[in-house]
């Protein structure tokens, strides 16, 4: 099987603190379902941001498929994220002045690499319905619960049918029943599209749903270690 994500000789430090993420080698096969675990502050969110090109390491190389993400320009990384990566952020990153449907459609409004048409709009509506927020499409996100906001964020990530899904605590704000529905949706998309799923989670009840679990504590060091 081909490799979806390859990380080698990586080192990343924040300028304003002692944290240091070091990964000598991490290979994730295309189509794999991988869970990232570790205590708070171990680098789960940082690793997802590095893979998506939101952050760049001080040293090392990150490849996604045939692309060297660490060699791309800022504009090229934005295009890569919008076309090939679906990200579910821990803080959702929804726009308060847009309603639910327009937040789901947002990737198609912020970059010319994606073209909005009736088929995309129909898919957005179907995603909303499948996650239990179909009747909230015209509601402003300020009037949503945390769990409803989480589902909007997941629908937005799935809409462009990405080949790589990066999810940061995707079920962290959901009740047990909703958690199963939403996580099933992520797994179904990954299976249907042949996408790779990498999800950071503190929920050990989900770990048996992954094909592989990576504990960042096993290869993440503090600065100076």
For residue 45, name the pLDDT band (cuts at 50, 70, 90): very high
> Is the CB of residue 182 less than 8 Å from the CB of residue 170?
yes
Alpha carbon distance 48, 136 (integer Å): 29
Three-state SS at 104: helix
Judged on CB neighbours under 10 Å (0-12, 13-18, 19+), 208 is: exposed
Confidence (pLDDT) at 221: 53
Query: Dihedral (C-alpha) 179, 154, 132, 188: value to the nearest 10 degrees?
Result: -70
How does pLDDT run across 134-180, given as a tens digit for each residue?
A: 999 999 999 999 889 988 999 999 999 999 999 998 887 778 877 88
Q: For residue 7, report the phi and psi dihedrals to the nearest 5 degrees.
A: -120, 130
**Sequential DSSP letters for 11-74:** EEE-TTSSEEEEEEEEEEETT-EEEEE-STTSSHHHHHHHHHTSS--SEEEEEETTEEGGGS-H
How does pLDDT run across 80-107, given as a tens digit for each residue?
A: 999 999 999 888 899 999 999 999 999 9
How does pLDDT run across 175-217, given as a tens digit for each residue?
A: 887 788 878 888 888 888 889 999 999 888 889 999 999 998 8
Judged on CB neighbours under 10 Å (0-12, 13-18, 19+), 2 is: exposed
Give just the sign of the alpha carbon dihedral 142, 123, 133, 187: negative
**Model's pTM, two decimal places?**
0.90
């Amino acid at each position: 099987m081909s490799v979806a994500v390859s990380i080698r000789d990586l080192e990343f430090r924040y300028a304003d603190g002692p944290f240091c993420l070091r990964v000598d080698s991490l290979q994730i096969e295309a189509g794999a379902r991988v869970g990232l675990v570790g205590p708070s502050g171990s680098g789960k969110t940082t690793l997802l941001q590095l893979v998506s090109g939101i952050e760049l390491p001080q040293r090392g190389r990150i490849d996604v498929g045939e692309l060297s993400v660490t060699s791309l320009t800022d504009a090229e990384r934005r295009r890569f994220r919008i076309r090939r990566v679906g990200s579910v952020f821990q803080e959702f990153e929804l726009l308060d002045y847009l309603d639910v449907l327009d937040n789901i459609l947002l990737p198609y409004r912020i970059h010319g690499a994606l073209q909005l048409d009736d088929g995309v709009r129909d898919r957005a509506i179907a995603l909303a319905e499948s996650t239990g927020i179909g009747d909230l499409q015209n509601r402003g996100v300020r009037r949503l619960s945390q769990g409803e906001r989480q589902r909007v964020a997941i629908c937005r990530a799935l809409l462009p049918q990405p080949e790589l899904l990066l999810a940061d605590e995707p079920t962290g704000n959901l009740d047990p029943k909703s958690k199963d529905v939403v996580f099933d949706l992520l797994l179904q998309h990954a299976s249907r599209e042949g996408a790779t799923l990498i999800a950071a989670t503190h929920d050990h009840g989900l770990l048996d749903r992954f094909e592989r679990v990576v504990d960042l504590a096993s290869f993440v060091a503090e600065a100076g270690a």
